Amino acid sequence: MPKVVDHEQRRRELAEAVWRIVRRDGIDHASVRAVAAESGWSSGSLRHYFPTQDALLGFAMELAYRRFLARFEQIDSTLGNRELVRAIAHEVLALDDDRRVEAAVLLAFLPRAMVEPSLHELERYGTRRLYDEVARVFAAAHEAGELRAGVVPLKAARRFIALVDGLNIHHQLGPDELTADDLTEAVDHHLDTVFA
């Protein structure tokens, strides 16, 4: 009887091999050959799933976005708007090993996404989804009269995501100087300036 192959699982395994290489050696070392060696596959087998390096890197980036966007759906929807925004931030911030790896991988992809159109499109899609999710909550808070006077929900969402991204960058560069506790404290302080 022929073996049943879970192609999506294999693609995820390859993406996770990319993440390990990016985390350990940097994105410039995530070649098809290196990913094949890391995953224990031949380059030919890998190319069956990803014909180019950019296709492989794009899927690895997309999977990182999909993982944290999927976690949003697990957030308790009965939370108040402020707590909901806070919970979203906690899913994106590098507060544990898994989220630290995701953040590191996504940050490593950014310089390449600036020059590679397919990666740029993926980055914009993931970031827009994040903006939309946070803006939706800020809009609900605005409708409920929970925001400070003059706060514009869409602008507030973009500033909030910029804050979270900046916190992740500085945490990756100096985790002992900007700890996980510092990340959550900065988010809480910012929310104090947005919510009435």
- What confidence score (pLDDT) does residue 3 get? 56
**Rg of the chain in Å (alpha carbons):** 19
pTM for the model: 0.83
Which residues lie below 8 Å from residue 155, measured CB to CB, with a gap of 6+?
none
Q: What does the buried/exposed string (b/e) look like for 12-49 if buried means 16 or more CB atoms within 10 Å of the residue's CB? A: bebbbbbbebbeeeebeebebebbbebbebeeeebbeb
What are residue 149's phi and psi, to 5 degrees?
-60, 135
9/82: higher pLDDT: 82
Question: Per-residue pLDDT averaged across 27-47, rounded?
Answer: 88
CA nearest to 137, candidates 162, 161, 159, 154: 154
Residue with tokens 């803006």: 135
The model's confidence at residue 84, banded by pLDDT at 50, 70 and 90, is very high
Which residues lie below 8 Å from residue 80, measured CB to CB, with a gap of 6+?
146
Do residues 19 and 101 touch, judged by C-beta distance below 8 A? yes
Round to whole Å and give the CA distance between 78 and 43: 48
* DSSP letter assigned to residue 73: T
pLDDT in tens, 47-60: 888 888 888 888 88
pLDDT in tens, 133-182: 999 999 999 999 999 999 999 999 999 999 999 999 999 999 999 999 99
